[in-house]
Amino acid sequence: MLKIKEAFPSLQNKKIEIVQKIISGSEKPKPRINMTTKGPSRKRVIVPMKINSTNNFIKDSSTHVININRALKNIKSNVMVDFICSDNKGIVIATNNIASPSDLQAIEKYVKSTVCVEAKHVESSRLPQSKSYLKIIGVLYLSEHTNTRITSDDVERILKSNHIFNDIVLASKPRIIKVSPKSDMSII
| Cα 185 → chain centroid | 36
Taking the C-alpha atoms of residue 141 and residue 123, their distance in angstroms, rounded to an integer, is: 35
Closest CA to 116 of 44, 49, 71, 70: 49
For residues 6-16, average pLDDT: 73
- Is 139 or 85 the better-scoring residue by pLDDT? 85
Q: Is residue 36 part of a domain?
A: no
- Is 171 or 115 the better-scoring residue by pLDDT? 115
- Is 11 or 95 the better-scoring residue by pLDDT? 95
Residue 35 has pLDDT above 50, yes or no: no
Residues 78 and 106 in one domain: yes
The pLDDT value given to residue 25: 67
Which DSSP string corresponds to 116-159? Answer: TS-GGGB---B----------EEEESB-TTT--B--HHHHHHHH
Q: Count structural domains, the chain.
A: 3
Q: Is residue 127 part of a domain?
A: no
Residues 11 and 74 in one domain: no
The pLDDT value given to residue 160: 83
Percent of the chain at pLDDT above 70? 85
Residues 49 and 10 in one domain: no
The pLDDT value given to residue 31: 55
Q: Is residue 132 part of a domain?
A: no
Residues 56 and 112 in one domain: yes
Q: Is residue 131 part of a domain?
A: no
Q: Residue 17: which domain range? A: 1-30
Q: Is residue 130 part of a domain?
A: no
Please state the pTM of the whole predicted model. 0.54
For residues 108-125, average pLDDT: 88
Taking the C-alpha atoms of residue 61 and residue 165, their distance in angstroms, rounded to an integer, is: 37
Q: What is the pLDDT of residues 118-162, one digit of tens each?
A: 888 888 888 887 666 778 888 888 877 778 888 888 888 888 888
Residue 30 has pLDDT above 60, yes or no: no
Q: Is residue 35 part of a domain?
A: no
Residues 109 and 78 in one domain: yes
For residues 163-182, average pLDDT: 79
If pLDDT is split at 50, 70 and 90, which confidence band does 117 have?
confident
